[in-house]
Amino acid sequence: MNTITEHFISEAQKGKAVYINDVRECFAKLKNEKTRQFSLALVTAEGLKRRFDYTIPAFNVPENVQTDKTEKMSVKELEAVFIRDYCMAELYNIISCLGARSMKFYTTEKSEELTYIYNCFIEKFGIFTERTQRKEYGRAVNVAERILDALDTRTDSKIEVAFFDTAGIPSDFMYATKQQSCGFVGEKLKEAVQKSDKGILIGIDVGGTDIKLALSVNGKLTALKEYDWFPAGFTRIHELIDPIIALVDLMRYRTDSRFNEITDIAMPVEASDELIIKVAEKAKQFAAENGITLPLYDGIGLSFPDVVVQDSIVGGEVFKTRGIRENPAVDYEKEFRLITPLNKILAQFVKEKGVVGIVNDGPMAAFSAATEAAYMDTSSVNKGVLAYTLGTELGTGYLDGEGKIPDIPLEVYNFIIDLGSWPEKEFSSDDVRSINNFNTKLPGTLQKYTSQSGAFRLSLKYFETAKPALYRELFEKNFLYEKKEDAKSQGLYTPTSPKDMRKPFLEHLMSLAAIGRNEEAERIFYEIGEYLAVAFCETQRILESTTNKAILFGRLVKQENCFKLLCRGAQKHIAANSFEAADDEMAATPLMKQLKNSGTYTIAQFAQAIGAVHYASYRKNIIR
């Protein structure tokens, strides 16, 4: 076995993280031992040509690995499986970020190992399999094909794949296509803010645990609304759509103070769906009885936690739709397509020349950050903005140097960053201790490292032995419960009903770290920073963004000490000033300053909803 591979396997068996960028760097330096090289020529959905080169150690190709349990594998099988999984992770991260129209593999030598890797890619990604039958890595292929469907106006797109074992890669596939500063993106964003002082605009931030809405009337922040939900438990698409429609309907009555007495009861976070609908109907009746014209929006900006292309929701492989995806009573492809035209459904609430602009929650974070920065200094964003949202999952957004949000998946939360931590792979994905992705079941993805799930997992990992009193407290406060009766679902879980304890659990861990006297609690956020730094390195490498820093949004960074811990952990991999927090200091635009001074809500909570208001103005007044 190659000594480097042997070292990585040893670390993985001990439960230590083995970062993908470390593996790539070590493999690339191999010179005195037998190696195999291959290149990937990828064409994105938009036609951009990209090249990725790889070096791996030579290894013995196994005839057939009979088990998934690494502890039962032979030494040769362990080596082959580790190298195979490294290659699969590399390809998976690229597709999760960029999508693909075609993927072609090139090498200058015939090799049994590379043929094995290519065949594993075909099999594990389900390249020639129907979408409904794909699992694990294949879910990224589903998203890529649905993007092609949306762009090409069809329902049966397929990624083109080929392997050329002795051909040179075409010269027009580039390592980098760095975008240049165009010099006027900042002016566009500032103009959108200035023009948001007229008309009725609403910004909506849809998340995994809540929906936040911000209403602007002629530049005044008139109403803020928060609504809790658990979409992963839904079994039909209408359960995702109906609350959004009801909330958009309700909020338009907050544009006129004559409706306040009727609608006040529906504004608290605990207001039920039934109450919200009932109140909106009562307000509509009041309008009819008093000859009041029903208010309509000039623009709706919507941040949605799934892949969005040209205002259409096209991903379908996120945790929020898991319950629907696993519902045997529906044809998921047909069912999911019911949410694709959400922009057209919401158009009923918009004036004739108004707009409905929908983007993924990650790009909305990037847009929000860029808008605030541009309002202070228009030249500060002309190289683009990269942003991460740390909450229920990790969202990633990029606004490029031309002010464009690329039509790519950018599902960085699916990136596999850890090829180690093997003991934690043995828990089922829903178990708090597991590193396996909720959706794909793949181990080592950022979903279980940088989001709230990462904080929960690390708390158990470090509290159980080092702080048993804190460990017991997690159960006493109902943040955790244990299932014992069903062998298939035995494990540790966070309750989501009758009360969803995910937010309180995270707040508890953040408060422990904020004290500054609990080493294990601080270690949680320090390690999350380390994971996020690896994510940043991988994003920069694959996306080739022109900016060298990222703005962080979400609950995990709203507490000052937790953010400092994140930054300290990140310094093991990246520069000290690579992360900035989207806190009160970012407030520059009039609407964001109004939020800052509200005294009730924080910028960390509603920044993206405010950003969505500005996005509605951007789409209505600048980009049509």
Averaged over 381-389, what is the pLDDT?
86
Beta bridge partners, 359, equal: 303
Residue 209 has pLDDT above 90, yes or no: no
Q: At 396, is the secondary structure helix, strand, or coil?
A: strand
Residue 365 has pLDDT above 80, yes or no: yes
Which residue would you say has higher pLDDT here, 9 or 577? 9
Identify the pLDDT of residue 138: 96
Identify the pLDDT of residue 572: 87
Identify the pLDDT of residue 224: 95
Q: At 617, is the secondary structure helix, strand, or coil?
A: helix
Averaged over 260-280, what is the pLDDT?
95
Query: pTM, whole model, 2 decimals?
Result: 0.84
Identify the pLDDT of residue 318: 77
> Are residues 384 and 179 in contact, defined by beta-carbon separation less than 8 angstroms?
yes
Identify the pLDDT of residue 321: 86
Which residue would you say has higher pLDDT here, 439 or 159? 159
Full strand arrangement of the beta sheet holding 550-553: 394-399, 385-390, 550-553, 579-581
Residue 121 has pLDDT above 90, yes or no: yes
Work out the burial of residue 428: count CB atoms within 10 Å of its CB; fewer than 13 is exposed, 13-18 middle, 19 or more buried. middle
Identify the pLDDT of residue 399: 87
Beta bridge partners, 226, equal: 212
The overall longest dimension of the chain from CA atoms, in Å, is: 86
Residue 340 has pLDDT above 60, yes or no: yes
> Are residues 185 and 381 in contact, defined by beta-carbon separation less than 8 angstroms?
yes
Name residue, tokens 């048993």: 468
Identify the pLDDT of residue 68: 66
Dist. CA 295–CA 275, nearest whole Å? 20
> What percentage of the chain exceeds 90 in pLDDT?
65
Looking at mean pLDDT, say which of 284-288, 320-324, 447-451 comes out highest.
284-288
Band of pLDDT at residue 380, cut at 50, 70 and 90: confident
Residue 198 has pLDDT above 80, yes or no: yes
Which residue would you say has higher pLDDT here, 269 or 557? 269
Identify the pLDDT of residue 402: 78
Residue 175 has pLDDT above 80, yes or no: no
With helix as H, strand as E and coil as C, how does 526-540 read?
Answer: HHHHHHHHHHHHHHH
Crossing angle, helix 452-466 and helix 468-476, to 10 degrees? 130
Dist. CA 611–CA 589, nearest whole Å? 10
Identify the pLDDT of residue 366: 87
In the chain, the N- to C-terminal Cα span, in Å, equals 58
Identify the pLDDT of residue 427: 93
User: How confident is the model over 272-303, as pLDDT tens digits?
Assistant: 999 999 999 999 999 999 999 988 999 999 99
> Are residues 357 and 300 in contact, defined by beta-carbon separation less than 8 angstroms?
yes
Round the average pLDDT of the chain to a whole number and report it.
90
With helix as H, strand as E and coil as C, how does 126-181 read?
Answer: CCCCCHHHCCCCHHHHHHHHHHHHHHHCCCCCCCEEEEECCCCCCCCCECCCCCCC
Residue 176 has pLDDT above 60, yes or no: no
- Return the DSSP state at 482: E
Q: At 73, is the secondary structure helix, strand, or coil?
A: coil
User: How confident is the model over 465-484, as pLDDT tens digits?
Assistant: 999 999 999 999 999 999 88
User: How confident is the model over 82-98, as pLDDT tens digits?
Assistant: 999 999 999 999 999 99
Dist. CA 371–CA 381, nearest whole Å? 8
Residue 66 has pLDDT above 70, yes or no: no
Averaged over 96-121, what is the pLDDT?
93
Band of pLDDT at residue 215, cut at 50, 70 and 90: very high
Tokens (6 digits) for 350: 């918009």
Tell me the chain's radius of gyration from C-alpha atoms: 24
Dist. CA 170–CA 5, nearest whole Å? 31
